[in-house]
Every structure is written in structure tokens, then in C-alpha cells.
Amino acid sequence: IFKNQPQKYLAFSETPINAFRKVKHQSLYEQEASVSGFLDHVHNFGLLYFSTHATAGDSLLNQPAIEFSDQSLYLSDLYTLNIPAQLAVLSACETGIGDRRKGEGVMSLARGFTYAGVPSVATTFWKVNEQTTYTIVDRFFFHLSQGLNKDEALQQAKIDYLHTCDDIRIAPYYWAGMIVIGNTDPFLFEENSFHPKLLLALFIFGLSASYLVRLKRSKKQ
């Protein structure tokens, strides 16, 4: 959806997360990844993954927002939703920061998803690097599938990254920007598949494609 906007182009958004390759999925492409498309599907999934752009906002008039193909979804919009997902991974920039209000806390997108009912949120604290964030998220999902607690899975993903990155990208800016807040219990996977009662939604935004990937337990023949 950012094909004609070079400054917004997310090169790694079209690269499938390796942890998802062996499971069945259903996709929404390009303009189908709209706010209405999200709202139509969000109640069917146990895990949400966003690879897009976001803004932190700094006031009531300039709210945090996450970009979809047609428009932005604002913090105040999230307050009106009831999202049954158990984990939301917000890999866009600055999803964990926002205006700090006395007695309230930080008005961030992560707060919005928590308010909407998501007990666990992986969120970012600055303008993260797209390539390294993709690498870390890929390993994060892998370690989740191995049964690690969510915070431990993200920690191990960062360690994996540090073992393979070059010297230029070893600075904390590249790998320390994402944390898990809320419930850190393991996400309920089974070997190479999800718990039969859990689904995964994957949103990928970039160039000419936007995907909503629905992962389902493979049925035995």
C-alpha cells in the first residue's frame, strides 16, 4: 500500500515470517487490509501481528495512530473495541509511547490494545529499524512456538539476533526497542501448529501488498 510512497516503503513487509510457513493461512491483499477489513476479522484470531507505520501522538488533538490501507486507526478508536486476541505484536514505530498524563499513564497504542482486552502486547519505544525488527519478530514467534514465556521468547530472539548481526547493527538501537507488556505466560502452541482453539492474524503492509494471515491447525487426513 506504500508503493508510491518511497519514504514509507517497508521492504521486509512482503517477506513471510518463517514461523508461519508450515501452517495454513488466508490472506487479504492490498486495499483489503483496511480498517473495516481489520474490524471484520479481528474477533476471529488469538494473535495479531502488525507490520505497518504508526505515530505516537503527543496530545488529545494528536492521538497515537496505526496506519491501514484506507485510513488510520486512532487510540480513541481502540477504546471502543473488544478484541479477544491473547497477544498483539505491534512492530510499527513508537507503539509504546505517547502523551504522559498524571494519574493515567502513557497514552500509547499499546495501552489502547490493552484497554480493548488484549492481555499481552509486544510494543516498541522508538523508531525501530525495519530489517532488524523483522528478524527479531521472526525469532520471537519461533521461540513462542517452542513454549517459552512471551518475555523469554523475545529475550531469546534478541540474543539470536546479536549472535548473527554485523558490527554496524549491534547497537541497542537496532534490537532493544521492543518489549512485552502484560501477561507473559506462554502462547498456547502445539508442535508446528496452533492450539486448536487459537488462531493467528498477520497483517503485513508494504510496497503493493497487505496481508491478513489466518493460521489454523492442520487437519489430519
CB environment 138-162: b (16+ within 10 A), e (fewer)? bbbbbbbbeebbbbbbbbbbbebbe
Question: Can you tell me the distance from the alpha carbon of 43 to that of 35, in angstroms, rounded to the nearest whole number?
Answer: 13
The structural domains of the chain, with segments of one domain joined by +, span 6-215
Query: How many residues are present in the chain?
Result: 221
CATH dotted code for 6-215: 3.40.50
pTM of the model: 0.80
Question: Can you tell me the distance from the alpha carbon of 77 to that of 88, in angstroms, rounded to the nearest whole number?
Answer: 16
How confident is the model over 6-20, as pLDDT tens digits? 444 444 455 545 655
How confident is the model over 161-208, as pLDDT tens digits? 999 999 999 999 999 999 999 999 998 755 334 433 344 444 444 422
Q: What is the pLDDT of residue 187?
A: 87
How confident is the model over 102-118, as pLDDT tens digits? 888 999 999 999 999 99
Gap between the terminal Cα atoms of the chain: 38
